[in-house]
Amino acid sequence: MSKKKGLVISGVILALSVLIEAVFVDHHVEYWWHGLIGFDVIYGFVGCVAIIVISKKLGKLFIQRKEDYYGGGEKGDD
Protein backbone atom coordinates (compact mmCIF):
# COMPACT_ATOMS: atom_id res chain seq x y z
CA MET A 1 0.00 0.00 0.00
CA SER A 2 1.34 3.41 -0.89
CA LYS A 3 1.87 6.11 1.71
CA LYS A 4 -0.72 8.37 0.07
CA LYS A 5 -3.36 5.63 0.06
CA GLY A 6 -2.67 4.88 3.72
CA LEU A 7 -3.05 8.55 4.64
CA VAL A 8 -6.31 8.83 2.71
CA ILE A 9 -7.75 5.72 4.39
CA SER A 10 -6.65 6.98 7.82
CA GLY A 11 -8.19 10.38 7.14
CA VAL A 12 -11.51 8.87 6.07
CA ILE A 13 -11.66 6.66 9.16
CA LEU A 14 -10.78 9.62 11.38
CA ALA A 15 -13.48 11.78 9.78
CA LEU A 16 -16.09 9.03 10.11
CA SER A 17 -15.17 8.52 13.76
CA VAL A 18 -15.58 12.23 14.51
CA LEU A 19 -18.90 12.30 12.63
CA ILE A 20 -20.21 9.28 14.55
CA GLU A 21 -19.13 10.84 17.84
CA ALA A 22 -20.86 14.12 16.95
CA VAL A 23 -24.14 12.41 16.05
CA PHE A 24 -24.48 9.44 18.40
CA VAL A 25 -22.45 10.06 21.57
CA ASP A 26 -23.96 11.74 24.62
CA HIS A 27 -21.09 13.58 26.29
CA HIS A 28 -20.73 13.48 30.07
CA VAL A 29 -17.80 15.82 30.42
CA GLU A 30 -15.55 15.99 33.43
CA TYR A 31 -13.04 18.35 31.86
CA TRP A 32 -13.76 21.03 29.27
CA TRP A 33 -11.66 19.40 26.54
CA HIS A 34 -13.78 16.25 26.66
CA GLY A 35 -16.70 18.37 25.50
CA LEU A 36 -14.95 19.19 22.24
CA ILE A 37 -16.32 17.05 19.43
CA GLY A 38 -13.71 14.61 18.21
CA PHE A 39 -11.12 15.42 20.87
CA ASP A 40 -10.75 11.86 22.15
CA VAL A 41 -10.61 10.41 18.64
CA ILE A 42 -8.02 12.90 17.41
CA TYR A 43 -5.99 12.63 20.63
CA GLY A 44 -5.90 8.85 20.30
CA PHE A 45 -4.98 9.00 16.63
CA VAL A 46 -2.17 11.50 17.19
CA GLY A 47 -0.93 9.44 20.15
CA CYS A 48 -0.78 6.25 18.06
CA VAL A 49 1.03 8.01 15.22
CA ALA A 50 3.51 9.50 17.71
CA ILE A 51 4.20 6.08 19.25
CA ILE A 52 4.87 4.59 15.81
CA VAL A 53 7.14 7.43 14.66
CA ILE A 54 9.13 7.53 17.91
CA SER A 55 9.49 3.74 17.96
CA LYS A 56 10.83 3.71 14.42
CA LYS A 57 13.34 6.46 15.21
CA LEU A 58 14.54 4.70 18.37
CA GLY A 59 14.71 1.38 16.55
CA LYS A 60 16.92 2.83 13.85
CA LEU A 61 19.09 4.50 16.46
CA PHE A 62 19.58 1.58 18.89
CA ILE A 63 18.66 -1.67 17.12
CA GLN A 64 19.43 -1.44 13.41
CA ARG A 65 23.00 -2.21 12.40
CA LYS A 66 24.95 -1.67 9.19
CA GLU A 67 24.90 -4.40 6.56
CA ASP A 68 28.51 -5.36 7.24
CA TYR A 69 28.09 -5.45 11.03
CA TYR A 70 28.99 -9.13 11.33
CA GLY A 71 31.71 -8.95 8.70
CA GLY A 72 30.29 -11.89 6.74
CA GLY A 73 30.54 -12.53 3.06
CA GLU A 74 34.27 -11.95 2.72
CA LYS A 75 36.44 -14.47 0.85
CA GLY A 76 39.00 -16.41 2.87
CA ASP A 77 36.86 -16.34 6.01
CA ASP A 78 36.64 -20.16 6.23
| Position 71 pLDDT exceeds 80 | no
Q: What is the rounded distance in angstroms from the CA atom of residue 55 to the CA atom of residue 61?
A: 10
Instruction: Tell me the average pLDDT across 39-61.
Output: 90
Q: How confident is the model at residue 72 (pLDDT cuts 50, 70, 90)?
A: low
Q: What is the rounded distance in angstroms from the CA atom of residue 13 to the CA atom of residue 10?
A: 5
Q: Give the pTM.
A: 0.62
| Position 55 pLDDT exceeds 90 | yes
pLDDT digits 0-9 by tens, 24-49: 877 788 888 888 888 888 898 899 98
User: Quick one: pLDDT at residue 76?
Assistant: 54
